Every structure is written in structure tokens, then in C-alpha cells.
Amino acid sequence: MTAFLFIGTTEIIAIVLVVLLLFGGKKIPELMRGVGKGVKSFKDGMNGKDDDADVQEKTTETKDKADTEK
């Protein structure tokens, strides 16, 4: 089973060539940007960070509740 963990240079080159053939040179930067945003969003979610819009929306809801209780 451990033999599957080791990928050689030849295999990496073959994978890169297949990806280039499938997506083309112009689409790869867009794909990588999307993957990067997804990973960043995942990490932020794991750390408990929300987007600025979500934080602002929660703050507004909390203020509205506090105002109605007074």
C-alpha cells in the first residue's frame, strides 16, 4: 500500500501534460484561483472566521434585537 504514496517525476510530468490537454493553458490560472479561494474559504471556516458581510449582518441583527428589547 505504501507504494502508492510515492509519485515519481515521470508521473508528475504525465499528469501535468494531461491537465494541459484537457483544460488548455488559458483555463489553468482560473482553475487554480478557484481552488485557492476554496481552500482559503475552507480554512477560514475551520478557524471560525466569517466573511465581512456575514459579520456585518449578524452585528446588525444583534443591534436590532437590542433596540426592540429596550
Per the model's pLDDT, the better-predicted residue between 36 and 3 turns out to be 36
Q: Which residue has the cell 508521473?
A: 11
pLDDT in the model for residue 26: 84
Task: Give the predicted TM-score (pTM) of the model.
Answer: 0.44
Q: From residue 16, give the alpha-carbon distance in Å to each of 13, 30, 37, 59, 69.
A: 5, 16, 21, 46, 60
11-64 tens-digit pLDDT: 989 998 998 888 888 888 888 899 999 999 999 888 887 655 555 555 566 655
> CB within 8 A of 28, min separation 6: which ones?
19, 20
Q: How far apart are CA 58 and CA 49, in angstroms?
A: 13
pLDDT (average), residues 3-12: 80
Specify the higher pLDDT residue, 1 or 44. Answer: 44
> What pLDDT, on the 0 to 100 scale, is given for residue 34?
92
DSSP 25: T
